Structure 1
Amino acid sequence: MTREPSAGRTPTSHERLTGATWDASYRGTDPAPWDIGRPQPAFERLAAAGAFTGPVLDAGCGTGEHALLAASVGLPVLGVDVAETALARAREKAHERGLDAEFATADALDLGRLGRTFATVLDCGLFHTFDAEERPAYVASLAAVTEPGGRVFVLCFSEAIRAQGPHPVSRRELEEAFSADAGWSVTSIEPERLLTTFAETGVPAWLATIIRER
């Protein structure tokens, strides 16, 4: 049976599929498949190129590597997740590394409750956990917290993935989710690799850069 999510949150499709909450992914002896202990190289390159501007939101931040990456280049950042165990580890990392980063519990499908907006939003491996029915709600949630002119960076499994993944995404699905009618402009979708604990060289992915037009 699926464990009950905290705060009355409806279980996501991934939680229903696995029969466990997101928090359970972080309570075992082995790291979660996506928790590689460092930022994804794609986001490291973006940070080095000055692509991030503050304030930054790391949506589905897990143990905080990408929020801490933003903090390391001097940007104000908030990392949010529904997994309290992951957030506790993220706060430990921030303290250990002497970095100023904020972490809070929040549902990615209801980010408007934060009451804040951000110039940069990072999504590493979150978009592809949502099924087709959930994606419109997630994109609307991102719209509520992305400033006009702000950028969303999405790193997600592509349909070329051969390992088992939640919901691999096609280029067309990204473009349809972040449509012009909904106030978005997809400026680029580039082939990328997403590193995991089960694939040392990574798995096929997309890195999308999306601007909030209004």
Structure 2
Amino acid sequence: MSERPGIPAEDPFGGREPTSHERQAGQPWDASYHDGPAPWDVGEPQPAIVRLAAEGVFTGAVLDAGCGTGENALHIASLGLPVLGVDVAETALAIAREKAGARGLGAEFVAADAFRLDRLGRVFGTVLDCGLFHACDAGERRDYVASLASVTEPGATLYVLCFSDAGPAESRGPHPVGREELTAAFGGDAGWRVTTIEPERIKTRFDPDGPPAWLARIERI
């Protein structure tokens, strides 16, 4: 594993607590981008996100949480919206910045911990989570949902696209999520209301047609 500038070789997580996915994989998210595209990096925005953008649902300042190499954020930015993409993978962020420069788009990409978004010191009207929620274990979801609340105000909208547990087990993506898990994570006194959860697909490099997914629309209350 190559060293990241400013990060000691003995601490590949940059001083933060490894996520459940990183502990399971035995390496940081950044390592996924060291030897070519990551399995979820299809080199284009997800079709579901393109469709949402065409419907005009992204309004105000937009946050892309877990942006990877930035295709979804850049597509939204191409529509003239201010977009901030955040991730813990520095390699992915560097690629996203290169794309933004090459395409003449003003999207920003910064390193940030999804569980401490309050440190951004900013508020967003729309948040996109494409493939991050399903990588959180049950204990992390509480912190993540609270973190999202810290950068939104009542009336903001969150869109979550995550692998679902629908269909045969062999057709599912990693870390599939049940519909009831989404409802539970954002229900109660979490400060959110799930308005819709619809069947969708997420394109991946291992399945171009896409494993089954949920697309949830969630309102900040």
Q: TM-score, normalised by structure 2?
A: 0.92
After the TM superposition, which residues 20-169 of structure 1 pair with which residues of structure 2 at under 5 Å, given as runs? 20-29=27-36, 31-160=37-166, 162-163=170-171, 165-169=173-177
The 3 A distance-change label for structure 1 pair 164 and 205 is closer
Partners of 2:45 and 2:71 within 8 A in 1: yes
**Segment of structure 1 superposing worse, 70-79 or 158-167:** 158-167
Q: Is 1:4 matched with 2:11?
A: yes
The answer (yes or no) to whether the contact 2:74–2:100 under 8 Å persists in 1 is yes
2:131 partner amino acid: G
- Most deviating of 106-115 and 180-189: 180-189
Pairing 1:197–2:205 present = yes
Q: Which runs of 5+ in 1 are unaligned?
A: none
Quote the RMSD (CA, aligned, Å). 1.3
The number of residue pairs the alignment matches comes to 210
Aligned to 2:23: 16
| 1:167 counterpart letter in structure 2 | H
Query: What CA distance in whole angstroms lies between the structure 1 residues aligned with 2:133 and 2:12?
Result: 19
Worse-superposed segment, 187-196 or 157-166: 157-166
**d(CA) in 1 for partners of 2:29, 2:131:** 13
Identity among equivalent pairs (%): 68
Secondary structure of the residue aligned to 1:145 is coil
**Cα offset, 1:165, TM superposition:** 4.0
SS of the equivalent of 2:198 reads strand
Unaligned runs of 5+ in 2: 1-9
Which one-letter code corresponds to 2:31 in the other structure?
Answer: A
Conserved? CA contact 1:55–1:77, under 8 Å? yes
CA distance in structure 1 between the aligned counterparts of 2:156 and 2:12, rounded to whole angstroms: 31
Q: Is the 8 A contact 1:4 1:11 kept in 2?
A: no
Q: CA deviation at 1:203?
A: 0.4
- C-alpha deviation, 1:163, in angstroms: 4.6
Secondary structure of residue in 2 paired with 1:52: coil
Going from structure 1 to structure 2, the CA distance change for 1:195 and 1:203 (only over 3 Å counts) comes to: same
CA distance in structure 2 between the partners assigned to 1:34 and 1:80 by the alignment:
16
Would you tell me which structure has more strand in proportion to its own residues? 1
- Of residues 62-71 and 177-186 in structure 1, the stretch that sits farther from structure 2 once superposed is 177-186
Shift of 1:182: 1.5
Aligned amino acid, residue 101 of structure 2: H
Using structure 1 for the length normalisation, give the TM-score.
Answer: 0.95
Residue type of the alignment partner of 2:86: V
Distance in 2 (CA, whole Å) between partners of 1:9 and 1:164 is 30
Say which is worse superposed, 176-185 or 53-62, in terms of deviation.
176-185
The Cα of 1:113 is off from its aligned counterpart by 0.7
Post-superposition CA distance 1:149-206 (Å, at most 9, x none) = 0000000000125356442111100000001422211110000001000001000000
